[in-house]
Amino acid sequence: MGMEHAEDAGVYRLRDDLAIIQTVDFFTPIVDDPYTFGRIAVTNALSDIYAMGGRPITAMNIVCFPIRTMDVKILREILRGGLDQMREAGVLLVGGHSVEDNEPKYGLSVTGVIHPERILFNNGAKPGDRLILTKPIGTGIVSTALKAGLADAALVARSVAAMTTLNRKAAELMAEMTDIHACTDVTGFGFLGHALEMAEGSGVGMRIDASSVPFFPEIRSFVEEEIIPGGLIRNRQFREKQIDVGPDCPNWLIDILFDPQTAGGLLIALPPDAAKSLLRQM
């Protein structure tokens, strides 16, 4: 597979019935608890493999840490959280690399496998398809509110639960189907950014009922008070001229749909009957 489209990972065919999928992702903490950060970082890194319909099998840690100024116990907790999440995913940790840095960063280089004829791309959506989103959005706004000391514990817990839920089940169910037209994971560009990538690559338009997109309801008040991440603003500035907003869609909701996600859900395009079947199984 070449570089023609903005795919989630790279794919290399080894033989007629086997290809490897490779991806890498790491970032700074978005929650206070180091163990939870490790779990989130691993969930996020594995998601690109799942988005292409693959099965992650091995991973290597990527670590940046201020070893001279921060307690090494924090690093141990980050790595423990990451390892526990890899075990849940059935992924084997085979090594890694660390460097001294001014702030902690953690993630993975991941290798997965897939049959070359079963790869899911983000550019195959067709007219008449339905869209399925496997997780609620709003984690970027919640993280920003958390940094400001404004997000309550219950909301943070629900956001963390979403960010530590693997996209494994959806990927396994899709692997059993033959009529998935396109798939991507919703991450840094926000829901609308990734939907636009899929629409552009597929040569189609998309009609989205904004009120049907799942999000954490508490984040509306944060958006209205402009407690939002900088990535949301950049996403909207970059893409908003490409969307046609109906008169009944409020501005705060458009902001939410551009919220950058960490370890977000899968966005899947598929025929109506297949969508009903997949939803029942999920």
pLDDT tens digits, one per residue of 81-112: 999 999 999 999 999 999 999 999 999 999 99
Any domain includes 134: yes
A 10 A CB-CB count for 13 gives 13
Helical H segments across 58-125, by residue range: 72-89
Distance CA 21, CA 146 (A): 34
pLDDT tens digits, one per residue of 192-204: 999 999 999 999 9
Residue 267 makes CB contacts below 8 A (sequence gap 6+) with 131, 132, 133, 183, 184, 185, 186, 191, 194, 195, 198
> What whole-number percentage of the chain has pLDDT above 90?
96
Residue 32: its pLDDT value, please? 93
Residue 17 and residue 53 in one domain: yes
**Residue 269 Cα distances to 157, 162, 179, 223, 273, angstroms:** 29, 21, 9, 29, 12
Distance CA 225, CA 273 (A): 41
Structure letter (DSSP) for residue 43 = H
Residue 194 and residue 251 in one domain: yes
Any domain includes 213: yes
Residue 165 and residue 256 in one domain: yes
Any domain includes 4: no
Residue 134 and residue 264 in one domain: yes
Residue 102: what are its φ and ψ, rounded to 5°? -80, -20
Number of domains the chain is built from: 2
Residue 150 and residue 224 in one domain: yes
Distance CA 243, CA 210 (A): 12
Any domain includes 123: no
Which one of 98, 118, 138 terminates a domain?
Answer: 118
Residue 175 and residue 151 in one domain: yes
Any domain includes 251: yes
Which one of 93, 118, 143 terminates a domain?
Answer: 118
Residue 4: its pLDDT value, please? 52
Closest by alpha carbon to 96, among 113, 79, 77? Answer: 79
Q: Find where tokens 């099998």 sit.
A: 57
| Long-range pairs of 174-177 with CB within 8 A, sequence gap ≥ 24 | 174/53, 174/120, 174/268, 174/278, 175/53, 175/55, 175/118, 177/270, 177/274, 177/277, 177/278
Any domain includes 3: no
Any domain includes 246: yes
Structural domain containing residue 199: 130-281
Residue 139 and residue 248 in one domain: yes
Residue 75 and residue 188 in one domain: no
Which one of 118, 141, 163 terminates a domain?
Answer: 118
Residue 145 and residue 267 in one domain: yes
Residue 165 and residue 104 in one domain: no
Tell me the β-bridge partners of 258: none
- What CATH number did the domain enclosing 105 receive? 3.30.1330.10
Residue 9: its pLDDT value, please? 85
Q: Find where tokens 């997965």 sit.
A: 112
Tokens (6 digits) for 226: 């402009």
Residue 80 and residue 148 in one domain: no
Dihedral angle computed from the Cα positions of residues 111, 114, 119 and 122, in that order, rounded to the nearest 10 degrees: -30
Residue 83 and residue 155 in one domain: no
- What CATH number did the domain enclosing 206 receive? 3.90.650.10
Give pLDDT tens digits along the chain (282 positions). 545 556 778 999 999 999 999 999 999 999 999 999 999 999 999 999 999 999 999 999 999 999 999 999 999 999 999 999 999 999 999 999 999 999 999 999 999 999 999 999 999 999 999 999 999 999 999 999 999 999 999 999 999 999 999 999 999 999 999 899 999 999 999 999 999 999 999 999 999 999 999 999 999 999 999 999 999 999 999 999 999 999 999 999 999 999 999 999 999 999 999 999 999 998
